[in-house]
Structure 1
Amino acid sequence: MPAVDDDTPGGDVGEDGILIGKSRREDGRGEAGPLLEQTLLLRRANRHGLVAGATGTGKTVTLQTLAEGFSNAGVPVFAADVKGDLSGVSQAGDSKKPFVDRAAEIGVPYAPDDYPVVFWDLFGERGHPIRATVSEIGPLLLSRLLDLNDTQEGILNIAFRLADEEGLLLLDLKDLRALLAFVAQNAKQLSALYGNVSRASVGAIQRQLLVLENQGGEAFLGEPALDIRDLMRTDRTGRGTINLLCAERLMATPRLYATFLLWLLSELFETLPEVGDPDKPVLVFFFDEAHLLFDDAPKALLDTIERVVRLVRSKGVGVYFVTQNPLDLPDEVLGQLGNRVQHALRAFTPRDQRAVRAAAETFRQNEAFAVATAITELRVGEALVSTLDAKGAPSVVERTLVAPPMARVGPATEAERDRIVRASPLAGRYDTPVDRESAYEILAARAEEALREQEIPEEKGNLLDALGGFFGVGGNAGGGRRGRLTTGQRVAREVTRTVVGRVAGQAAADIGRAIGGRTGSTVGRAIVRGVLGGMLRR
């Protein structure tokens, strides 16, 4: 990388960085000065970034240029390929005239090259499947994915709490369905323990699960779950792997797309160790169509996103949001993006004009030109660039010609994609789903056992054993009550009290009729209390 002056965006001489492009400053006489490199310092790449601009202004090409630069530096990349255009990074560039001309214009050699790529696909059709378990997704993200209201989200939290206390693994959709059916059947007893649980709300959740299944979400939920370390590979030459999520079909279900990427970001945060500010990131994460993450998101989810973005930096992960309009991102998130590439915006509507002003105000101003005016005048492949320097301060914004990618710009063919998938080091690892014993199998077995015990309760000792069989507990199993009761045991007790109470009432009435009169009823109730009182107080 050619040396640059100390006051040039990109940092001090000798700093390792990624070439974004070159800018030209005018001298004091209004004539064009020398070309100056605009670089993204690897030491500051985990401070996150933004690539914004209207459709057709060159965002995807800029994203590919950055991805290639990170790969060359040995940094793995994860990016969503929304239109399929990024898949061409797996193939050497085909020397298209606009890119050859741009390379000559900014004085860099055009050297076609291909890059190590791993294709992923939530549906397993055009890449390795990506799966996560229901437990890993958690109730908050799952509520967002299912578009639940506050009441339904509360019931889902109760279901997850119940699964934790009972040791029920929630791996796939059938596990969650079985658990929700259990909750619906025992809504009255669970309401006494956790608050109101209505069958109608449970039914609404089950209907949303059906919608998710029809959209293909069932393929995403299950095992084998993704190992985050498989996203952080390098090839034999030390170049970082570019992981591409095939998202053309996924974009038809934007909630699933946004939920998956947020889950992945959360997994990185929870899994990776603290590294502070490394010499280069351990992974760079490009979030294309970033507005989908924030559209109609409840405050609790927005707070989670903000917290993860703020803290994942110390895990060595850089997050780069790609969107049309900077206003698509909340201010709390936008303020954490230190490296910015702003392509042209169109100021046709009042909202567009506000976006232009907002984008201009976020840059460190350049006295050589009016930033707000320049944003509306940028040509295709030109952008305003400001990155963090070696001291962590934003550089003066510069009008920059973005460097061309060296790989193919455009999609790979299906034959090329299939060849890469077959030759992948991860071939076969995630292709076959695994269905081990989990909540569905356990609850089904308990239900069968309960039916058998209800048919022959005398062989199980007492009525509590028969009724508790469904929950996996018995009246005096294990020698009486020892330790804290599980939720299933508490629910079993509530069911037992209800049923036994009815039996007791009927027995008292029968005894009373046999003795006769008010005295008979009183004696009958006393006898029943004496016989069953101990069990009812368990």
Structure 2
Amino acid sequence: MIDYEQLGLFYLGRESGKAEPLLLQSRHLTTHAVVLGMTGSGKTGLSIGLLEEAALDGIPVLAIDPKGDLGNLALTFPELRGADFQAWVDPEESRRKQVSVEALGEATATTWRQGLAGWGQGPDRIARLKAAADVRIYTPGSRAGVPLAMLRSFAAPGADADEDGVRERIVSTAGGLLSLLGIDADPLQSREHVLVSRILQEAWASGRSLDLAGLIHAIQKPPFERIGVLDIESFYPSKDRAGLALALNNLLASPGAAAWLEGEPLDIGRLLYTPEGKPRIAIVSIAHLGDAERMFVVSSLLAELVGWMRSQGGTSSLRALCFMDEVFGFFPPTANPPSKGPMLTLLKQARAFGLGMVLATQNPVDLDYKGLSNCGTWFLGRLQTERDKLRVLDGLEGAASGGSFDRAAMERTLSGLAPRHFVLHSVYANGPLTFETRWTLSYLRGPITREEIKRLTVKPATTPATKPTPSGPGSATATLSRPAPAELAECFVGASGRYIAHVLIVSRVHYVDAKLKIDAWEDVTLAAPWTPDGPDWGAAWPVDRAVVTHDAVAGVAFEPPPAPAMRKGASADLSKRYIAWVYQSRAARLPRSPLTGTIARFGEDPGAFRSRAAQAAREARDVELSVLQAKMAPRIAAQAERVRKAQARLSKEEADAAAANLDTVATWGGAIFGAFFGRGSAVSKVTQAARTTNRNLGAHDDVSAAQESLSEAVSAQRMLASELEERLRQVGGRYASDTLQFDTVEVRARKADTDVRSVALLWVARPE
């Protein structure tokens, strides 16, 4: 059987009334999706199943969770033991059923085991999910999960940031912060918004980041005299500005402010991947927050996501998924809360960068359906009222943009939906279809409380920063008298013990390899210990220039320096030795993925490289699948036409009998082919023909020449299906994320280009 998980296909359930699984191409989600359904419709189960499939495909997820349901993604139990479920079943349910918690845990485990088996899933798939992605719950404003430092810094964007993107981020940041104060700030009408935006603009234009304290001071004494044509006092008098500054100061001084200032930085790359490059399901839980705080968190997250998106390269494959549950209130049709601007930007632009947006709600009335017209996939479940249904139908009709849309048929379908049944309306399908959602791999036990989040959260360990300690025995001749080199400048690191002489080199090294298409400069600052033969470059260690000072610490003795360091001409001699060593021994060793030729960039974090290599593999897989699809589709259509003509030559009775040979039970292979070539297309006939038995065909071999022709056509179809299946299997296996291999390439420095910027005598204090 073909492994659909290796082909970028999401297993969502099965078509209603059929045994055939419903598979969705992951790249179709780059055009975004909407999930609509009332309480009890199965919306949460569908959403969690979708996120599970993304994780299994190696796609990271940023999930915003206003209700607490998404924490269920952390409840994955590969062994399906009763003891695993026991800690998470509802004690109230055990009392109602008059059974022990232990017995309820065992019963729940049995239910989950049987439910998964009924959908062709088992413990091995749960284990793959658990191994595929790290699940982490973030709780801004709370220490229950992993805190997010939302107020620590309003970091300036990089120098290469897009101008429009910076402007949008300023608007969202200012609006989100003011919403935290309960100020409904219109970007054009609110003087608070205009002032804060201008302060951020001034700071970021000069490359400066601001913290909350710095923003408060800037409000009191703005770093500019005018806003527009008005002087600052006419626009916003100092007495009124003092009120805004006081409100922000109260926020900073409040007992709960510490939880907003500590934790991990608001860095989308760090949210989506672990330091080792493993994809993450990053759940940002905001269920514990008030409305103003929720708006601040959501608008800040989305603004950062826009910035991260624009820093990525273009791709047609799904790079990451952003899911938001209960989007009601954050994307209204007429009002413009701080969250709406960045969300609309993402819906309009994220496709080009491989970022898929999935928005869900049980309240479909108060949504901007004009904005949602950017979504190519709609999942529609049971709706609460006729008003909800009419609003959704209006939205679908608008999204059709003049295309065919049978409103009456859709209304009838929506009215007859059962729980866990959804209509899939997609621009990639010939028409809507109804399906039943699969059983989730995660245990759905309902909203996760703050206390339960604490149980699920392993606090990230903090490792104190260290630097290499110079080795070598101390000298009995150390003196407080500072040596005076004839030429080399002196600098110092450390504050206690004895100063030992090192050479400090600041340089730029040029690495070039035309074959590998590498042309990169690396800034290198190294400290090397002295030996009797000169500096030991092999034992050199990188130095953070920020910790280097130009003044010695009083009372720290100096070991005698080597004589060559004290002479004139030392700088030229050391530079020459260093350049020779760089050329001979300091070749850059860069990790590479031979499958795609992806090579790590200089200074790139290993985890970031692995995630980039995995994305390159997904892109290569999708391209190869598209090529295969384009190549095979005409052959499939031609063969289907050949079968149709052969059937037409038979009498009606004989044609019916022959056609019966093409009917078969639906299979995974059929679902996979249908996902790539379209359900109900000629490829489905290929799949069915591939399952036709020789025995059945034999019943008609000698009936007539027409039947012989049909037999040959069906045999050819079978061979075509086998070829297609084998080629799909090869593509999937070649690009499977869990089989990615890495090697290293060496790139030598170009000797003539090595630029030694400075040579100094570095005194490093070593504890005695």
The answer to whether TM tops 0.5 is yes
Judge conservation of contact 1:290–1:321 (CA < 8 Å) in 2: yes
1:132-171 aligned within 5 A? 132=150, 133-135=153-155, 138-146=170-178, 147-149=184-186, 150=189, 151-164=191-204, 169-171=209-211
- 1:494-517 deviations in Å (ceiling 9; x for gaps): xxxxxxxxxxxxxxxxxxxxxxxx
**1:130: which partner in 2?**
148
* 1:386 counterpart = 2:421: no
Inter-CA distance 379–327: structure 2 relative to 1 (3 Å threshold): same
- Percent identical pairs in the alignment equals 20
> In 2, Cα distance between the equivalents of 1:139 and 1:376?
42
* 1:322 counterpart = 2:360: yes
**1:54: which partner in 2?**
38
* 1:120 counterpart = 2:138: yes
> In 2, Cα distance between the equivalents of 1:23 and 1:191?
64
Unaligned runs of 5+ in 2: 78-84, 86-107, 157-168, 179-183, 465-768
Structure 1 residue 291 displacement after superposition: 2.4
**1:427: which partner in 2?**
461
Judge conservation of contact 1:121–1:246 (CA < 8 Å) in 2: yes
Judge conservation of contact 2:12–2:437 (CA < 8 Å) in 1: yes
Judge conservation of contact 1:283–1:318 (CA < 8 Å) in 2: yes
> In 2, Cα distance between the equivalents of 1:223 and 1:200?
35
1:271-420 aligned within 5 A? 271=311, 273-278=312-317, 281-295=318-332, 297-298=335-336, 302-348=340-386, 351-358=387-394, 361=397, 370-387=409-426, 393-410=428-445, 417-418=453-454, 420=456
Q: Which amino acid aligns with 1:400?
A: F
Structure 1 residue 329 displacement after superposition: 3.1
Residue among 14, 21, 26 paired with 1:22: 14
Inter-CA distance 245–144: structure 2 relative to 1 (3 Å threshold): closer
> In 1, Cα distance between the equivalents of 2:351 and 2:29?
9
Q: Which has the higher contact order (CA 8 A, sep 6+)?
A: 1
Structure 2 counterpart SS, 1:294:
coil
Aligned length: 400
Structure 1 residue 277 displacement after superposition: 0.5
Structure 1 residue 209 displacement after superposition: 2.8
Range moving further from structure 2, 222-231 or 240-249? 222-231
Q: Which has the larger radius of gyration?
A: 2
Structure 1 residue 418 displacement after superposition: 4.3
Inter-CA distance 196–416: structure 2 relative to 1 (3 Å threshold): closer
Judge conservation of contact 1:212–1:218 (CA < 8 Å) in 2: no
Inter-CA distance 394–218: structure 2 relative to 1 (3 Å threshold): farther
Q: Which amino acid aligns with 2:35?
A: V
Q: Which amino acid aligns with 1:397?
A: P
> In 2, Cα distance between the equivalents of 1:154 and 1:387?
41
- 1:22-54 deviations in Å (ceiling 9; x for gaps): 113xxxxxxx5x333322212222221111111
Inter-CA distance 216–334: structure 2 relative to 1 (3 Å threshold): farther
Structure 1 residue 415 displacement after superposition: 8.1
> In 2, Cα distance between the equivalents of 1:185 and 1:44?
48
Judge conservation of contact 2:220–2:238 (CA < 8 Å) in 1: no
Structure 1 residue 124 displacement after superposition: 4.2
Inter-CA distance 398–104: structure 2 relative to 1 (3 Å threshold): farther
**1:85: which partner in 2?**
69
Range moving further from structure 2, 86-95 or 146-155? 86-95
Structure 1 residue 117 displacement after superposition: 0.9
Judge conservation of contact 1:20–1:66 (CA < 8 Å) in 2: yes
Q: Which amino acid aligns with 1:73?
A: D
> In 2, Cα distance between the equivalents of 1:143 and 1:303?
10
Q: Which amino acid aligns with 1:406?
A: L
**1:36: which partner in 2?**
20
- 1:296-325 deviations in Å (ceiling 9; x for gaps): 743997455323322122222111111124
* 1:258 counterpart = 2:276: no
Q: TM-score, normalised by structure 2?
A: 0.46
Inter-CA distance 404–200: structure 2 relative to 1 (3 Å threshold): farther
> In 1, Cα distance between the equivalents of 2:136 and 2:423?
31
> In 1, Cα distance between the equivalents of 2:228 and 2:271?
45
Range moving further from structure 2, 116-125 or 71-80? 116-125
Structure 1 residue 220 displacement after superposition: 3.6
Judge conservation of contact 1:345–1:352 (CA < 8 Å) in 2: yes
Structure 1 residue 84 displacement after superposition: 2.5
Judge conservation of contact 1:184–1:202 (CA < 8 Å) in 2: no
Unaligned runs of 5+ in 1: 5-12, 25-31, 431-538
Judge conservation of contact 2:175–2:338 (CA < 8 Å) in 1: no
Q: TM-score, normalised by structure 1?
A: 0.63
> In 2, Cα distance between the equivalents of 1:191 and 1:14?
62
> In 1, Cα distance between the equivalents of 2:408 and 2:217?
63
Structure 1 residue 256 displacement after superposition: 1.9
Judge conservation of contact 2:140–2:149 (CA < 8 Å) in 1: yes
Q: What value does the CA root-mean-square deviation take over the aligned residues?
A: 4.1
> In 2, Cα distance between the equivalents of 1:323 and 1:187?
44
Structure 1 residue 412 displacement after superposition: 6.1
> In 1, Cα distance between the equivalents of 2:147 and 2:304?
14
